[in-house]
Amino acid sequence: SSAYRWMMCPGSVRLCATVPKRTTGYASEGTAAHELCERCLRDGSEPAEHFGEVITADGSGFTVDEKMVAAVTVYVDKVRGDLAKFGGRLNVEKSFDLSWLYPGMFGRNDASIEPDGLFGVLRVYDYKNGKKPVVAKDNSQCMYYALGALGEANPCCVDSVEITIVQPNCWGKDPVDGWTVSTRDLYAWGRDVLLSAAKATEAPDAPLRSGDHCTFCAAIGICPKRR
């Protein structure tokens, strides 16, 4: 989930390597919510069935309360609804490797649905637990996820990828936001924009740039550009 940061700030990779990993309570709560999302999609349970359970994330315990149940239900219903409507093969928390594009790039998708037949639509889902608005259109982080789900050789022969961000806790926007990108455009973005950004992080003089991507950067406290 750090791709957006290092694409905007190539120097952050080298700087973050010098400090311990930073975890906030909000991030840990999000991790717990993701765990609940995964459990429900894997075992077919409803979020409400886990009410009162304690989920451990980053060493802290988070109780599944009404707020978490309501938020996760939006996500689970969206994924299950699309699966029932369009069919396909559901993948939950599936890891991917982008080393075919550039060494060391990898990730994991919250969920994706591969089409049953050829030349269909690959659907990729990203659950956001935070309140800061995130949109799907031209979202570099989600395009990174989508490229990982698509793979090097497009084995499903899909024509396009539908990216869906589910963000139930954010006010002022639709909790379900989707955007469709053609396979051709996604590969072109990967080989041009993403590859160039990845190479830039390896430069000895990789620049530091401040912006909203600094929010979850582990090196924010020692960053000279931020100061």
| DSSP three-state, residue 182 | strand
- Surface-to-core class of residue 32, CB atoms within 10 Å of its CB (0-12 exposed, 13-18 middle, 19+ buried): buried
| Predicted structure pTM score | 0.90
Q: Which helix (H) or strand (E) holds 27?
A: helix 25-43
Reply yes or no on whether the pLDDT at 93 is more than 90: yes
- Note whether 80 and 66 are within 8 A (CB): no
Task: Give the pLDDT confidence of 205-219 residue by residue, as tens digits.
Answer: 999 999 888 887 888
Q: Please give the average per-residue pLDDT across 161-188, as a whole number.
A: 96
pLDDT above 80 (res 23) = no
Give the DSSP H or E segment for 35: helix 25-43
C-beta separation of 75 from 40 below 8 A: no
Question: Counting every residue, how long is the chain?
Answer: 227
CA–CA distance from 13 to each of 82, 113, 189, 207, 213 (Å)?
37, 31, 21, 10, 13
Predicted local confidence at residue 107, as pLDDT:
93
**What pLDDT sits at residue 209?**
92
Residue-wise pLDDT for 109-160, tens only, equals 999 999 987 789 999 999 999 998 999 999 999 999 999 999 998 888 899 9
User: Of all residues in the chain, what percent carry a pLDDT higher than 90?
Assistant: 75
Residues 57-60: contacts with CB within 8 Å, 24+ apart?
57/28, 57/29, 57/31, 57/32, 58/23, 58/27, 58/28, 58/31, 60/25, 60/28
pLDDT of residue 212: 85
Q: What is the mean pLDDT of residues 87-94?
A: 96
Report the mean per-residue pLDDT for the chain.
93
Given this model, what pLDDT does residue 1 score?
Answer: 62
